[in-house]
């Protein structure tokens, strides 16, 4: 189910509000471009790197990473990058990669 990055940019270029993990505040996506998805939360702003998200998408497509939303956070941190793994999981879930 490979997602074309152009579709990701189109989906998030004007921002979006994504439901986060139960008990957490809503995640705000503030934009996207060819290299990053920009996000903000109540106390911080940051960006998610395209290469890391695409690596996660590939591992998920190949069945080499769990699709469980709660478990993917540790897998993302361990096998991909320690770059906002909970936020990355939220975006991956919104894109349809996680249960």
Q: Is the pLDDT of residue 30 over 70?
A: yes
Domain annotation covers residue 77: yes
SS3 content of the chain, % helix, strand, coil (to 5): 40, 20, 40
Residue 23 forms part of a structural domain: yes
Q: Residue 45: which pLDDT band, with cuts at 50, 70 and 90?
A: very high
User: Is 11 among the domain residues?
Assistant: yes
Q: Domain span at residue 20?
A: 5-94
> Is 16 within a domain?
yes
Per-residue pLDDT, averaged over 39-50, amounts to 93
36: Cβ contacts below 8 Å, ≥ 6 apart:
47, 48, 49, 50
d(CA 44, CA 84): 11
Q: Please indicate, yes or no, if residue 99 is contained in any of the structural domains.
A: no
Residue 15 inside a domain? The answer is yes
pLDDT at 23 exceeding the cut of 70: no
CB atoms within 10 A of CB 67: 13
Domain total in the chain: 1
């Amino acid at each position: 189910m490979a997602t074309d990055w152009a579709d990701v940019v189109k989906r998030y270029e004007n921002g979006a509000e994504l439901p986060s993990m139960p008990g957490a505040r809503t995640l705000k996506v503030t934009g996207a471009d060819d290299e990053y998805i920009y996000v903000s939360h109540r106390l911080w702003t940051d960006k998610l790197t395209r290469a890391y998200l695409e690596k996660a998408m590939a591992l998920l497509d190949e069945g080499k990473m769990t699709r469980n939303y709660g478990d993917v956070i540790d897998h993302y941190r361990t096998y991909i990058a320690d770059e906002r793994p909970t936020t990355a999981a939220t975006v991956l879930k919104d894109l349809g990669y996680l249960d």
